[in-house]
Amino acid sequence: MNVTELARILKVNPQELRDLLPQLGFHIGQKAIKIDNREAQKIISQWPNLIRNLQRQKEAESKEEMIEEEKAEGKKIVSVPNFIIVRDFAALAGLPINKVLAELMKNGIFTSMNEKIDFDTAAIIGENLGLEIKFEEKKEGEEDGRENKLGEILGREEKGKLQNRAPVVVVMGHVDHGKTKLLDAIRTTDVAAGEAGGITQHIGAYQVVRKNRAITFIDTPGHEAFTAMRSRGARVADIAILVVAADDGVKPQTIEAFRIIEAARVPFVVAINKVDKAEADNNKTKQELATQLKVQPEDWGGKTICAPVSAKTGQGVEDLLDMILLVAEMEAENIKANPDAAAAGTVVESHVDKGAGPVATILIQNGTLRVGDNLCFNNNAYGKVRALKNYKGESITEAGPSTPARVLGLKISPAVGDILEVGEGERIKNIHSLESKVRRGKTNVIQQADNGDDKVRKVNLVIKSDVLGSAEAIEESLAKISGENIKVKIISKGLGNITEGDVKKAEDSGAQIIGFNVKIPPTIENLIREKEIKVNVFKIIYDLLDYVKEEMEKLVEPEIKRVDLGRLKVLAVFRTDPGNQIVGGKVMFGRIEAGSLVEVMQGNEVIGKGKVVRLQLNKKNIDSAQEGEECGLQYEGKPIIKEGDILQFYKTEEVKEKI
């Protein structure tokens, strides 16, 4: 094919094409006149992707140059992950919190210092504040400073005042491997029956007593969307139980859970569950643990305890508890606290209750929390403890180390993973009143900044969920499925049932409302019908994510892809009419199909294009002809075919990108 013909097809200047091809990996000289036809077809079919990749490469090089220039100019570079709390961003940037909040307000983002902003928002306000914002991918299981803070609190205690406390155990593993059922067998309560689809949707904390010793259990959700919540569960735990089903073996989330346990450096016990099933194979499961996770079972000469259990029948559950107590004895030096100190603990769940307001489940890790204590986070007052409840819902007056307690009386819902301490804290009136108003109104709004790129298609969402942990998991999961050309834009997010304000926001922004474990009041249903707003409520998080992916795929424009079929050499021209010809020939390679598109080639040049409307073999209509066969065909197009010409057959397909 002539270079000029190829340039015309690609709609570029011939010289520009000669300059671009070497950069794209094609060894074409500056003086080239012709290109091998196969290579030309390859260039045509791959051209959009080749150009896109070249542009990305140039943009990356340009960004690197800018970073180097800014380094030389002394411009501060701040690394920010997908989402960051405003106060953490201010600390990284070395700026006063009020200055960051003011800049957010200038951009129409009304939030508090304890809320999260996404990377795009941070990049926009960072530029205005004279900062260079770089994306930092946070590694799974990576510490975020919260553990260090708790370590400081415990480090201040005198060794003589430290006493043994109950071990905190986290239960992790693949979805549907029986984690919650195992806890049911331990605490003789039926939690799994109340969970949608049998999958735990929230973190729960419970206590049991074995041989007069208390053990605290944290039940973490099993689906991959809760990776962040599982990570937090591992960080507050002293011991982990990795649940693996004997009939299913090691699965992707088993590996993921093990990596989190490993990164947190937590001692663990493997519970091989469902051993009562006929298809259970303990040895195969142990072999998979050894090969895939490098975990050597104790009875195979390794160091890892593998306890066979059946959550359904209760078989082996008592032995598993004894193993946990044994590990706790070995780790006794690290499982200590001062019960007489001011309380400090980690938030494992947080939500807004219709009647009680903000409610948080806190795992006390040092000291004793009492009714009437003031709680604060980072020296900011969060409210007074008006009531304490244990995991059974019973009112208690105090909660000591390793005790999970539900706290009522807070003015603000803390974030899951926050470490709350007893103390007066500083009362910041403006921010405090704003947060109280936002949270009590159940419309915890974070308006995301628009990057102004009209080419990026967006699925606009108003999200309402029941608890903060779920909201956070949904937000992080949606960030993962957003791509370069199509993104999820969260117009607002909040806790509680869907309100008139949510409908108004959806109407103003052209968004749809997504609810998770929330309800639609009858009056709001009428308003939704009247305004014709699309609303969907889900009980299982991966159903929600699958729905959003489907909505995103609807916005993706299909890519037209060429598929080459085969070639035919024209041996005879039987009839030529205006607009069509009847010719005969032999299939050189591949296959040819009736209805396919055709390129007419004389020498190495494409001189015309058309379509095959009919294909015949021995005067019978056929759908296709294979390599080596001779056939006749009716060609529709400009009648230019001559004996000896080559016909290139191809078809086009629409390929839609999967999210």
CATH of the domain at 360: 2.40.30.10
Task: Tell me, yes or no, whether 224 and 292 share the same domain.
Answer: yes
Whether 480 is covered by a domain: the verdict is yes
User: Phi-psi category of 103—alpha, beta or left, where left has phi over 0 and alpha has psi -120 to 50?
Assistant: alpha
For the chain, give me the number of helices (H) and strands (E)? 17, 33
Task: Tell me, yes or no, whether 224 and 324 share the same domain.
Answer: yes
Any idea of the CA torsion for 118, 121, 125, 130, to the nearest 10 degrees? 70
Instruction: Please calculate the CA angle 615-617-619 and round it to the nearest 5 degrees.
Output: 95
Element containing residue 395 per DSSP (H, E): strand 395-396
Whether 223 is covered by a domain: the verdict is yes
Task: Tell me, yes or no, whether 400 and 538 share the same domain.
Answer: no
Q: Is 412 exposed, middle or buried (0-12, 13-18, 19+ CB in 10 A)?
A: buried
- From CA 126, how far away is CA 112, in angstroms rounded? 17
Decide: helix, strand or coil at residue 479: helix
Residue 431 contacts residue 113 (beta carbons within 8 Å): yes
Whether 401 is covered by a domain: the verdict is yes
Determine the pLDDT at residue 75. 66
CATH of the domain at 540: 3.40.50.10050
Whether 148 is covered by a domain: the verdict is no
HEC profile for 570-583? EEEEEEEECCEEEE
Give per-residue pLDDT as tens, 428-445.
Answer: 444 444 344 333 333 333
Determine the pLDDT at residue 437. 38
Task: Tell me, yes or no, whether 306 and 363 share the same domain.
Answer: no
Task: Tell me, yes or no, whether 222 and 287 share the same domain.
Answer: yes
Task: Tell me, yes or no, whether 506 and 608 share the same domain.
Answer: no
Total Cβ atoms within 10 A of residue 135: 11
Where are any strands of DSSP class E within 157-225?
163-164, 168-173, 204-210, 213-219
Any idea of the CA torsion for 456, 462, 465, 468, to the nearest 10 degrees? 60
- From CA 538, how far away is CA 526, in angstroms rounded? 20
Total Cβ atoms within 10 A of residue 497: 17
- From CA 218, how far away is CA 198, in angstroms rounded? 17
Joined tokens for residue 306: 């593998």
Task: Tell me, yes or no, whether 346 and 481 share the same domain.
Answer: no
- From CA 22, how far away is CA 29, in angstroms rounded? 8
Task: Tell me, yes or no, whether 511 and 545 share the same domain.
Answer: yes
Our count of domains for the chain comes to 6
Q: Is 167 exposed, middle or buried (0-12, 13-18, 19+ CB in 10 A)?
A: buried
Beta bridge partners of 600: 608, 647
Task: Tell me, yes or no, whether 213 and 322 share the same domain.
Answer: yes
Distance from chain centroid for Cα 120: 17
Any idea of the CA torsion for 469, 375, 403, 313, to the nearest 10 degrees? -20
Residue 88 contacts residue 112 (beta carbons within 8 Å): no
Whether 452 is covered by a domain: the verdict is no
Determine the pLDDT at residue 646. 93
CATH of the domain at 243: 3.40.50.300
Query: Longest C-alpha distance within the chain, in Å?
Result: 106
Give residue 381's domain range. Answer: 338-440
Whether 141 is covered by a domain: the verdict is no
Determine the pLDDT at residue 438. 36
Show the low-confidence residues of the chain (pLDDT under 70). Answer: 59-75, 108, 110-112, 114, 137-152, 154-156, 175, 188-204, 220-235, 354, 425-455, 468-469, 483-484, 656-659
Single out the residue in 273, 304, 336 at which a domain terminates.
336
Task: Tell me, yes or no, whether 614 and 626 share the same domain.
Answer: yes
Please tell me the pTM assigned to this model: 0.54
HEC profile for 310-339? CCCCCCCHHHHHHHHHHHHHHCHHHCEECC
Total Cβ atoms within 10 A of residue 540: 18
Residue 339 contacts residue 353 (beta carbons within 8 Å): no
- From CA 272, how far away is CA 280, in angstroms rounded? 10
- From CA 226, how far away is CA 366, in angstroms rounded? 27
Whether 69 is covered by a domain: the verdict is no
> For 444, phi and psi rounded to 5 degrees?
-70, 90
What angle, rounded to 10 degrees, do the helices at 3-10 and 14-23 form? 90
Task: Tell me, yes or no, whether 480 and 351 share the same domain.
Answer: no
- From CA 518, how far away is CA 465, in angstroms rounded? 6
Residue 657 contacts residue 556 (beta carbons within 8 Å): yes
Determine the pLDDT at residue 349. 79
Whether 493 is covered by a domain: the verdict is yes
Q: Is 33 exposed, middle or buried (0-12, 13-18, 19+ CB in 10 A)?
A: exposed
What one-character-per-residue DSSP string does 555-605 give? HSPPEEEEEEEEEEEEEEEEEEETTEEEEEEEEEEEEEETT-EEEEEETTE
Decide: helix, strand or coil at residue 525: helix
- Of 419, 423, 424, 425, give the one whose Cα is nearest residue 364: 419
Single out the residue in 520, 555, 590 at which a domain terminates.
555
What one-character-per-residue DSSP string does 442-458 give? T----PPPP---TTSEE
Quote the radius of gyration of the chain (alpha carbons, Å).
32
Joined tokens for residue 75: 């411009």
- Percentage above 70 pLDDT, the chain: 82
User: Phi-psi category of 265—alpha, beta or left, where left has phi over 0 and alpha has psi -120 to 50?
Assistant: left
What one-character-per-residue DSSP string does 54-121 give? HHHHHHHHHHHHHHHHHHHHTPEEEEE-SEEEHHHHHHHHT--HHHHHHHHHHTT----TTSEEEHHH
In the chain, % helix, strand, coil (3-state, to 5) comes to 35, 35, 30
Instruction: State whether the Cα torsion 403-408-414-416 is positive or negative.
Output: positive
Task: Tell me, yes or no, whether 541 and 566 share the same domain.
Answer: no
Residue 472 contacts residue 416 (beta carbons within 8 Å): yes
